[in-house]
Homo-oligomer: A and B are copies of this chain.
């Protein structure tokens, strides 16, 4: 059966579909001993530590296919797992993908999804080593497991921040959330007027933040190249507030974050103002930025202060001092977890 004659998933069957979607996959990493094609993938990490992380993405909860192209979804689903690996100061090396899909999906649609996953693997030098495909009653569910490696002494946890450490963040915050709000708004307009053509040009940056985020491999490299090892690190998937609280709670410290230091892109600000939202609230509570939040020793201040794409936003304090936002008019406001929370969306 030649590929160009294949039109439906049921013609291929489960095993045919998997081999169709994963054909021509090349193994790039030494640690991948055996990829797709057996009961399990086999890895060989020799003396390295291994990090493993899983995400489950459900249609209607984590993504909306009305405005999410499947290729973008696949790319993002892979990248958000890589982001968890980088947040351990590790390098992603393998990915395993399980999908469940209802009969509304054509083979072409699933090919799009996989092409996004494979593009992410290519861009981040990750091997696609296993898959599982089955039916679902409604919609699409994606489960992605990413595996990465790190030298023993370089792993960075979230519970090791120390008093007086500097709090840093990569890139800018709130953009992905504003991109989502824009897409949701345009979707509502489109519902009432199907001939409506959304004007999205001036918001390309925040749309890309939402639809095609990247993981901050470059930041992990930049820190390493500058001989900076973070004292703690976490990726920002649920909003700055939520992640700052994780680091502080797990490290048993407090912190002061300065409102004026929180990096926010101009498009994020513009969109927030259009929607009558305080941009800082977007940065604190909006999810899915996939930036890195980390702390470094005060001794590394000179090394870090002028690095591109890294903002110093505060410092670690004693636990009893609490976790506070210092506003532009110099008030202390306790930071609470109002972040994006998948549990609250149903």
Copies in the complex: 2
Minimum CB–CB distance from A113 to chain B (whole Å) comes to 14
Q: Assess whether B234 is in contact with A343, with CB atoms less than 8 Å apart.
A: no
Q: Which residue of B lies closest to A246 (CB)?
A: B15
Q: Assess whether B54 is in contact with A43, with CB atoms less than 8 Å apart.
A: no
Minimum CB–CB distance from A148 to chain B (whole Å) comes to 7
Q: Assess whether A136 is in contact with B235, with CB atoms less than 8 Å apart.
A: no
- By a CB distance below 8 angstroms, the chain B residues around A44 are 49-50, 152
A10 within 8 Å of B by Cβ? Answer: yes
Q: Assess whether A145 is in contact with B45, with CB atoms less than 8 Å apart.
A: no
Stretch at the interface among A68-76, A126-134, A176-184: A126-134
- By a CB distance below 8 angstroms, the chain B residues around A165 are none
- Which chain A residues (28-77) contact chain B, with CB distance < 8 Å? 33-34, 37-47, 49-56, 58-62
Q: Assess whether B39 is in contact with A43, with CB atoms less than 8 Å apart.
A: no
A198 within 8 Å of B by Cβ? Answer: no
A278 within 8 Å of B by Cβ? Answer: no
Inter-chain pairs besides A62-B134, A96-B145, 20 sampled, C-beta below 8 Å: A13-B341, A13-B344, A34-B157, A38-B88, A38-B157, A39-B85, A39-B87, A40-B51, A41-B52, A43-B50, A45-B50, A52-B96, A52-B129, A55-B132, A102-B346, A135-B345, A135-B346, A136-B141, A137-B138, A137-B346
